[in-house]
A and B are shown apart, each in its own frame.
Chain A
């Protein structure tokens, strides 16, 4: 039996090339391929769907306006993430702390949202909110977006060793916050590793494959 006919797959590279020639269909196709991830990371950073929508618009307008200069040193998605994260960081810098978007808040407190109990879910979200925007961005990119250190390094334009050390520090801060919110008996009893504290500004000595 013949397999169903499939439309030929257009690569990201081809779509970028067509966008560089002003092809609106290619712009739409690139948007369709990437918009969920871009919107998701913006909501996660700003806690507001309205703000995320505005920043997503700005992200794509900037990207398509500057696509002629995109040199493909990194992937288009990485480049787009970089613009989006920078938009979010800029917005966070400009704005004073704002209240949580009601829709986002409601979903956070919904225990059915991901099968976790409400208390734990709120704890993690609240702990993330206490981090600096850049540390929150690193954790979101690593764990929620699944980016590896190289991709995070490309998105945030920081060295890979800095990604490792910042992740160490952000994880450490998260664990401290989570203990503050909801101390567990074993943590009170001091089962934490005695040497796990990372000094401020310390760069992880990472004899890693891609440093």
Chain B
């Protein structure tokens, strides 16, 4: 192996991040290469210098905990816990009553169509179930499910000011904005948009970061989009990619390759993605 093939492995080599096979390859090369030995010494020396460069952090301010405690909901007091317990008992009794009434109602004929409980904070099943047919129609059904109303791009942004996202007029690759929507998921505002390029459709959804989301029978896979790790659900040739930072889940529904066109699109709709601050996207 030549120096230029080994050089980018030397950092991970020094950091003990290589597997045994790669480590052995580097070991063999380094034994007979003075310049790489010098490089390794430089990397170690730099690491030592950074490590020993203290910051004068000092001790944690003693009042910090009190400041935090004042801003976090207090734990239930014994009295409140008693009240909480009574409320839970009341809720349980009410639930039993509802189940009993509901059961009698069903036994007596019922409505014939029973809606299932929504366990997930964001229910993507209506979208994912429809992707094998008309993807755009499924996307619109999802928008309708969450009371989507058509708005301008700037209104969509103003509708959810606590989220970090963008609804640009154009996306990289020649996709043009067709429609933007203001949604409401539970009690939280959210937004969505539809883009098109020569008839090809892309949907974007932005909602409050909530973990974990429930994809029902759909399996989600970890994925890497540009420099961001996220996860995706594949349905046929469609994929719904989610990349989440502290405040916002950025979802892009497309048929695009996550290693080619998708990184630039994700960067366009999530320009202030927190984990990527200060760096450029490839």
A binding-site residues for B, Cβ under 8 Å? 22-25, 27-28, 31, 35-36, 39-40, 43-44, 47, 49, 52-53, 56-57, 60-62, 64-65, 69-71, 73, 82-83, 86, 89-90, 92-93, 103-108, 110, 113-116, 120-121, 124-125, 128, 132-135, 139-140, 142-144, 148-149, 153, 156-159, 162, 164-168, 171, 174-175, 178, 191-196, 198, 201-202, 204-210
CA distance A35 to B275 in the complex (A): 21
- Check if B211 is an interface residue, CB within 8 A of chain A: yes
Inter-chain contacts of B32 with A (CB < 8 A): none
| 20 A-B pairs in the complex with CB atoms less than 8 angstroms apart | A22-B73, A28-B69, A39-B61, A43-B55, A73-B211, A107-B56, A113-B54, A114-B54, A115-B52, A128-B50, A149-B15, A149-B17, A171-B43, A191-B38, A193-B3, A193-B39, A194-B35, A195-B4, A195-B7, A201-B280
B binding-site residues for A, Cβ under 8 Å? 3-4, 7-12, 15, 17-22, 35-36, 38-39, 42-43, 46-47, 49-58, 60-61, 64-65, 67-69, 71-76, 210-212, 224, 227-229, 245-246, 272, 274-280, 282
Pair B55/A31 contact, Cβ less than 8 Å: no
B11 contact from A40, A162, A171, A191, Cβ within 8 A: A171
A116 to chain B, nearest CB (A): 6
Question: Nearest B residue to A24 by beta-carbon distance?
Answer: B75
CA distance A61 to B15 in the complex (A): 34
Pair A61/B21 contact, Cβ less than 8 Å: no
Inter-chain contacts of B52 with A (CB < 8 A): 114-116
Using A39-B64, A156-B275 as known contacts, say yes or no to A124 and B17 having CB atoms under 8 A apart.
Answer: no
B119 to chain A, nearest CB (A): 14
Inter-chain contacts of A198 with B (CB < 8 A): 8
Inter-chain contacts of B64 with A (CB < 8 A): 35, 39, 53, 56-57
Inter-chain contacts of B12 with A (CB < 8 A): 149, 164, 204, 206, 208
Pair A53/B17 contact, Cβ less than 8 Å: no
Pair B71/A86 contact, Cβ less than 8 Å: no
Using A39-B64, A195-B4 as known contacts, say yes or no to A139 and B18 having CB atoms under 8 A apart.
Answer: no
Pair B73/A193 contact, Cβ less than 8 Å: no
Using A71-B212, A113-B54, A191-B38 as known contacts, say yes or no to A208 and B8 having CB atoms under 8 A apart.
Answer: no
Using A148-B15, A208-B12 as known contacts, say yes or no to A35 and B56 having CB atoms under 8 A apart.
Answer: no
Pair A39/B57 contact, Cβ less than 8 Å: yes
Pair A86/B275 contact, Cβ less than 8 Å: yes
Inter-chain contacts of B17 with A (CB < 8 A): 148-149, 164, 206, 208-210
